[in-house]
């Protein structure tokens, strides 16, 4: 997938900086694969319907998340739904569902949020219709029993935990997500004027972009409660987030509020909600490492979603890399120089003033094509300059 294209001018690319981003990304995913990724584990438990286990784990790894009664109510609501799914098989299961509604949901329904009591009353209808044929179920019952409800709650818990514990995606993953989004917008505008020829390079690029970046985005953490966080935001920042991250204005305001009006943190959080194909990205990074002569290793298991991909061994990946560089690989740099370049590359990327060079330019433009051009120029300075 990584090709030595003559048209790429190496003098305009800081490949050592890119090497550092790649190695840093692989290293972060290695650590997640070696240790338990609490956010991903919670997502998996909820998707499997083990809500009670997820709540116990959440209490252990991120107790501050349970201080939000809205989230607690949604978790208990899903637990009740899972009990209702199994109700009817035995009298004991029916009693467990009723006990959950009486002891857990009812007290929360009065204080969680203004509409919680109405939602609680609707939930009780599940006891009447859960075992009826699907066409006869009311819309509210179908929605509650749908697998999409599990998925949405799992995404909310996942991103809430990452927000509270400071877990972030590697910088390279965020940069790639942003570039893929910009390319998708560019191709969407190009299709209006001309269609790519079958089998052409443009069509192959479109296929790769579609494979790397999935449709839609994850559900965001619940917005801060009324009265918490900043109350006013710069219109410039809101527009920048809407154009750059592709979120709605409401999501942009909520992201700024959650980040305490930190534009860069809000931008990263919104990018992390986009669905990057991590297993495929692992394969691309592994091919890049081989192409650059940095390191060749066995397949690596994806961190984050638990999907399999190319693996880099957790114990000796970096040591093997340093040895290959010391033996005079294609990079032609010593291990100490490589480490300095990696650290300097990460620092250069992070120290770029995003608001002026990227987010600010995009937010200031009301024309989508001009916004995309400004964003491309800005992200180019972030990733290469």
Alpha-carbon distance of 371 to 385, in angstroms, equals 20
Q: What Cα–Cα distance (Å) separates residue 16 from each residue in 54, 299, 332, 365, 385?
A: 42, 23, 11, 33, 12
Q: What is the dihedral of CA 280, 285, 289, 295, to 10 degrees?
A: -80
Over the chain (385 residues), the average pLDDT of each successive run of 10 is: 49 73 87 72 92 93 92 94 78 83 90 89 81 73 84 93 87 92 82 61 83 90 74 89 91 91 92 92 90 62 36 35 37 44 45 40 39 44 40
- What pLDDT sits at residue 296? 43
- What pLDDT sits at residue 30? 81
Alpha-carbon distance of 74 to 66, in angstroms, equals 11
Residue with tokens 């993953």: 173
- What pLDDT sits at residue 267? 94
Cα 30 → chain centroid: 17
The DSSP output letter for 113 is -
The secondary structure element, H or E, covering residue 216 is strand 213-217
- What pLDDT sits at residue 196? 57
Those residues whose C-beta lies under 8 Å from the C-beta of residue 239, and which sit 6 or more positions away, are: 363, 364
The SS3 assignment for 146 reads: coil
The SS3 assignment for 129 reads: helix
- What pLDDT sits at residue 143? 82
Burial of 344 (0-12, 13-18, 19+ CB in 10 A): middle
Alpha-carbon distance of 315 to 34, in angstroms, equals 10
- What pLDDT sits at residue 90? 67
Alpha-carbon distance of 304 to 302, in angstroms, equals 7
């Amino acid at each position: 997938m990584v090709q030595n294209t003559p048209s790429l001018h190496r003098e305009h690319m800081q490949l050592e900086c890119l090497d550092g981003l790649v190695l840093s990304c692989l290293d972060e995913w290695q650590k997640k694969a070696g240790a338990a990724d609490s956010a991903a584990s919670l997502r998996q438990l909820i998707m499997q319907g083990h809500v009670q286990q997820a709540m116990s784990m959440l209490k252990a790894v991120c107790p501050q998340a349970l201080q939000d009664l809205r989230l607690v109510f949604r978790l208990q609501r899903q637990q009740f739904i899972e009990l209702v799914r199994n109700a009817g098989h035995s009298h004991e299961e029916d009693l467990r569902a009723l006990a959950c509604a009486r002891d857990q949901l009812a007290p929360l329904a009065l204080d969680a949020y203004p509409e919680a009591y109405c939602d609680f009353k609707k939930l009780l209808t599940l006891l009447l219709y859960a075992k009826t044929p699907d066409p006869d179920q009311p819309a509210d019952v179908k929605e509650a029993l749908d697998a999409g409800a599990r998925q949405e709650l799992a995404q909310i818990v996942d991103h809430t935990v990452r927000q509270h514990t400071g877990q972030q995606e590697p910088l390279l993953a965020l940069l790639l997500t942003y570039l893929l989004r910009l390319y998708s917008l560019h191709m969407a505008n190009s299709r209006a004027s001309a269609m790519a020829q079958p089998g052409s390079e443009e069509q192959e690029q479109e296929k790769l972009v579609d494979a790397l970046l999935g449709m839609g985005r994850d559900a965001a953490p619940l917005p801060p409660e009324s009265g918490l966080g900043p109350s006013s935001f710069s219109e410039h920042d809101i527009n920048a987030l809407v154009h750059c991250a592709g979120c709605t204005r409401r999501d942009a305001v909520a992201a700024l509020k959650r980040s305490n009006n930190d534009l860069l943190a809000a931008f990263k959080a919104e990018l992390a909600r986009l669905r990057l194909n991590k297993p495929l990205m692992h394969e691309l990074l592994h091919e890049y490492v081989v192409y650059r002569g940095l390191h060749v290793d066995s397949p690596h298991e994806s961190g984050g979603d638990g999907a399999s991909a190319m693996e880099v061994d957790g114990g000796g990946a970096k040591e093997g890399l340093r040895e290959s560089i010391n033996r005079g690989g294609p990079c032609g740099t010593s291990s100490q120089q490589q480490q300095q370049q990696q650290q300097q590359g990460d620092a250069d990327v992070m120290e770029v003033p995003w608001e002026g060079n990227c987010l600010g330019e995009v937010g200031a433009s009301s024309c989508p094509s001009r916004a995309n051009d400004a964003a491309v120029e800005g992200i180019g300075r972030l990733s290469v300059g």
